[in-house]
Structure 1
């Protein structure tokens, strides 16, 4: 019986939204939208093939043109995108999954090339370490208020497109994290200062998103928040800072927290002397006030149950659900031996992987995807797609 696994049991949020199981698909950057951010058929197919998990979080959708972070990125910056986003929501719902749209502004984590000559902007005029020549301009107070309003407008579009919730992206060094980080936020107005004052932007975004949801969506509409526990920048966000943030967020009007990590068992990258996992420290701080979604190197049914038994409310998979869209169905039908834990380069079309994602997997994530044949993968990377390998 599949209920031998804890993750196969339903989950109910405090607001009443019920998931058919405790597996979440983590946001996967498909890089396959049209040039203007409109939804492509490849994206719709990708999500339809993975419906069946409890909830799918759709990857970053920019809330305004200046917040675009990369080519092929989804947009929720205009009403004209609602029909296409609705197709994604419907595809996710096809086998009972709940659909959540991740909304964000890239801030300085973009370039003039991406923004067609426009200078990126951020909390302060501080360049990221990865690109010291890419100095952003500091947002004015009026512009900050507009960005907050844009998060609200994006939430309304997600509601109209049929999503069951939105996830505010406060992680991965995007704009909200830039306001929280002492590296990128040197402001001395109401949007900067000490660790608590640097939370003001995130709190204002949450308040606006919640206001829009309360006025326009059912009470079961989710508002989640994703965060990154640490930065390697000096100065940068420390786990001590994040525990203060998590403590504050646990009393904010959100429905869940989502820690962004490549390995859920990771300890501090900055304080090597502390061997307690970051998620364990985060869970202690939350103290059952909010559900926590854990992500990072969760592959097998045993991995998922272990995370739940250690305190996570829900477990998220990204890379594993790229490799195995039928993961939950195979567990349900007692066919676990056939679950893919490796990815053959020649199967990428079969698995419904859009072209933009395929390119990213062959380059930036080459070593993380467990490709079955490194020589074949290197061949594809060098010569591109050929007949029989995709198009």
Structure 2
């Protein structure tokens, strides 16, 4: 690696860390001013627990969110400074092409991308869970009950469906249960009961006050009774479907959950798919944002660094706005989550190529 590459790479990484260290304390200060009264209302909270349980995980979560912004601003700023000091002109005079000039930038982008991928896929989900649990318990005063589920529809196989009005996952007891078996579009069997209990010792279900009807071309077969034991191809945990879990599951567990849910025939899983794809698309944007920032910053403008920063920050806010829009639209049932999640990167990659061509001239 040449001296020039080391110089630019050092500037790239130090500027990035410097911007993060500026932005994060400001965000923390704003957050503390908003939450201080709620912290004081909980006498059991200590300064140590607030820092370790809340703010450490808050820094991880918020740092990951502002990472693209910090990267873009830092690269744009120090590249504009290089152009302002005519250092880029000196590089051109030394016959260094613009493509060669980008090499250390992309080495830095690779380092940031790898770091961001590790954050998004493994570290941030756990921090989000701890941070969310703390907020629900002490700030929002909202008790989140994951032991009770209501109005659950689940497809067990191509022809088997169940519905349960409510189910307590702690006691393994449900009420108003219904099972239906189809042949194509024709109902072949229907089984309903007042309540159903999962028995862990033999993985069976005990139904109370059941009514069963088997439909055929001839006479229907009807049976009913006080109690019946049977088995189904689902476990009680399969009934739990909470969208907020997507942000709190590490990627291997999230992928497993999506695969199992698809096999179970769950309806709309796009919220989970958006979260899964976003964990990769956001880190990859480091390359695109770096190219845009260098292409903008390398051009010396009459207004100085301020003009480059104004143009860059405007583009950055458009990018963030698009990310939020596609996240909402991608969660709808009839959308293509993969295409929508990658759409901002596709649009800004086209902008990056256009700016690169102009900057190279």
TM-score interval (norm. to shorter): under 0.3
State TM-score, norm by structure 1.
0.22
Considering fraction of residues, name the structure with more strand: 2
Q: Indicate the structure (1 or 2) with the bigger Cα radius of gyration.
A: 2
> RCO (CA 8 Å, sep 6+): is it higher in 1 or 2?
2
TM-score (norm 2): 0.23
Going by fraction, where is helix more abundant, 1 or 2?
2
